[in-house]
């Protein structure tokens, strides 16, 4: 692989690294010679993922039981990384997702919106990215380089029915990405970059119930998504890997503050 795209021996931190998308990205990075620092809340899941990754490449995965909303734990993680690793080359903020309680049922109206769950979804999806980015980017500023990738959503651009908290949080991710990109580049140089990926629709644990019926057939919502996706299908989780690779590598050295749609054409299609 060309130097421009090399991820070899780099250290990348991933929140949500045991989740559907995070797990797939962690595996891809390790397969390409990188080391991953996985953050998660469940030690069991972290250990299982570490075992899987280390079986592929010895000592490639390191695990940290960290809730991304816990500032103190994030500061401790930063200190540990500083002590035990040469540097932190990148951070991928994958922790997030919707909560069933924050989703309106098809017959509910805005006046039924569960506000506590909605707030919780904003917290995890917005501050769950803001806090690790602010804390861990201190390492990047000190070492003089680093690439941060945030995860946005189709719900940040146009309204998607029933999921208010998630949509507000992901719209916040877009502007946070642009804001942090310009602050870092203008005050700390051109080697610390922040971008976001806006995935289209991938079936994972958090949306399976919204998209598939018990017999495995698609719900009306899933069929509507497919109809509005020019490629006519859901994404495969491996289809985020290429964009992650590009954004973490030097191939994107002049790219910061950008949001990349990986969506089979969903966001560019008028529906007609």
Ligand X SMILES: NC(=O)c1ccc[n+]([C@@H]2O[C@H](COP(=O)([O-])OP(=O)(O)OC[C@H]3O[C@@H](n4cnc5c(N)ncnc54)[C@H](O)[C@@H]3O)[C@@H](O)[C@H]2O)c1
What single-letter DSSP state applies at residue 182? Answer: H
If the CB atoms of residues 88 and 225 are measured against ligand X, the closer one turns out to be: 225
Contact pick of 26, 36, 68, 180 for ligand X (by CB under 6 A): 68
Q: Is 246 known to be catalytic?
A: no
Q: Would you give the DSSP letter of residue 124?
A: I
Type and span of the H or E element at 13: strand 11-15
Q: Does 240 bind ligand X (CB under 6 A)?
A: no
Nearer to ligand X, 145 or 237 (CB): 237
* Distance (Å, whole) CA 41 – CA 208: 21
Piece of the chain touching ligand X by CB under 6 A; list 90-98, 174-182, 186-194, 254-262: 90-98
When asked if residue 206 is in the footprint of ligand X (CB under 6 A), the reply is: yes
Kindly tell me the burial class for residue 219, based on how many C-beta atoms sit within 10 Å of its own C-beta (0-12, 13-18, 19 or more). middle
User: Residue 37 is encoded by which pair of tokens?
Assistant: 């620092």
Q: How many residues of this chain interact with ligand X, rule: CB under 6 A?
A: 27
- CA 182, 264, 156, 25 dihedral sign is negative
**118-177 binders of ligand X (CB under 6 A):** 124, 128, 151, 153
The answer to whether 200 and 177 have CB atoms below 8 angstroms apart is: no
Q: Does 205 bind ligand X (CB under 6 A)?
A: yes
Residues of this chain that bind ligand X (CB under 6 A) = 15-16, 18-22, 40-41, 67-69, 94-97, 124, 128, 151, 153, 199, 201-202, 204-207
Active-site residues, by number, are 166
């Amino acid at each position: 692989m060309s130097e421009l795209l090399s991820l070899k021996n780099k250290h990348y931190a991933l929140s949500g690294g045991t989740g559907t998308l995070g797990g797939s990205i962690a595996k891809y990075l390790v397969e390409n010679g990188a080391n991953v620092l996985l953050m998660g809340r469940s030690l069991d899941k972290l250990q299982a993922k570490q075992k899987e990754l280390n079986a592929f490449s010895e000592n490639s995965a390191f695990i940290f039981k960290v809730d991304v909303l816990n500032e103190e734990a994030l500061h401790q993680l930063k200190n540990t990384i500083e002590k035990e690793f040469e540097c932190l080359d990148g951070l991928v903020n994958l922790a997030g997702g919707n909560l069933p309680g924050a989703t309106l049922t098809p017959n509910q109206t805005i006046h039924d919106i569960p506000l506590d769950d909605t707030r919780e979804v904003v917290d995890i999806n917005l501050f769950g990215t803001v806090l690790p980015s602010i804390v861990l980017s201190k390492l990047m500023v000190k070492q003089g380089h680093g690439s941060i990738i945030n995860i946005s959503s189709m719900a940040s651009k146009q309204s998607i029915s029933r999921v208010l908290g998630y949509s507000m949080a992901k719209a916040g991710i877009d502007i946070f990405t642009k804001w942090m990109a310009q602050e870092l580049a203008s005050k700390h140089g051109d080697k610390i970059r922040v971008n976001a990926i806006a995935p289209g629709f991938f079936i994972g644990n958090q949306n399976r119930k919204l998209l598939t019926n018990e017999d495995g057939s698609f719900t009306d919502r899933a069929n509507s998504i497919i109809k509005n996706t020019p490629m006519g299908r859901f994404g495969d989780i491996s289809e985020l890997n290429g964009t992650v690779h590009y954004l973490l590598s030097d191939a994107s050295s002049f790219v910061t503050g950008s949001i990349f749609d990986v969506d089979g054409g969903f966001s560019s299609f008028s529906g007609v």
